[in-house]
Amino acid sequence: MFNVLTVSWGSVTVILVGLLIYRALIGMREEDQLFLATGEEHQAAKQQVLQARIHSVNKFAVWLGVLSGVLLIGMASLWVYENMAQR
């Protein structure tokens, strides 16, 4: 059981770290002000798409962060329980 939890925690955390790196990379392209010449409105549309993507990545990252934390606490609890209960 402990091994299953460890593998799960490791997987979730690796995905979380990957997601955070991805979030940082796409965040580099995010602007909070744009100077648009005529015919460059597509830049504003691009930014809107980018912001929507960042928003959904943020949501996933929060959930994965919570899951990683819960799994870590679960691992610690199981580790203590197994050692205490061992006969």
Residues that bind other proteins (CB under 8 A): 28, 30-33, 35, 37, 80, 83-84, 86-87
CB of 66 to other proteins, least distance (A): 18
Q: Is the CB of residue 3 less than 8 Å from the CB of residue 10? A: no
CB of 8 to other proteins, least distance (A): 19
Q: Alpha helix (H) ranges present in 1-87?
A: 2-27, 41-85
Choose between 48 and 83: whose C-beta lies nearer to other proteins.
83
CB of 6 to other proteins, least distance (A): 12
If we measure between CA atoms, which residue out of 6, 7, 17, 9 comes closest to residue 60? 17
